[in-house]
Amino acid sequence: MLEPYRQVLNSTRIVLASASPRRKEILEKLNLDIEILPSILPEDLSKEEYGTKPHEFAVKTAEVKSESVFERIKAENSKNLLVIGCDTVVSLHETIFGKPTSVENAESVLSKLSGRSHDVYTGVHLILHTDQAVHKTSFFEKTEVEFMDMDSEIIQAYVRTGEPMDKAGGYGIQGLGGTLVKGIKGDYYNVMGFPLHVFCVHLLMLLKNIENS
| Structural domain that includes position 80 | 3-212
Per-residue pLDDT of the chain (213 residues; tens, 9 = 90+): 899 989 999 999 999 999 999 999 999 999 999 999 999 877 677 787 887 899 999 999 999 999 999 999 987 766 789 999 999 999 999 899 999 999 999 999 999 999 999 999 999 999 999 887 899 999 999 999 999 999 999 999 999 999 999 999 999 999 999 999 999 999 999 999 999 999 999 999 999 988 776
Q: What are phi and psi of 51, to 5 degrees?
A: -55, -40
- 87 noted as active-site residue: yes
CA distance 8 to 16: 17
Residues 34 and 28: beta-carbon distance below 8 Å: yes
Distance of CA 55 to the CA centre of its chain: 11
pTM of the model: 0.93
For the chain, what is the domain count? 1
Catalytic residue among 87, 131, 149, 187: 87
Q: Give strand pairing partners of 50.
A: none
HSE-up (13 A, CA, CB side) for residue 31: 7
Residues across the chain: 213
Q: Give the separation between CA 159 and CA 38, rounded to whole angstroms.
A: 26
71, 107 Cβ separation under 8 angstroms: no
CATH number at residue 152: 3.90.950.10
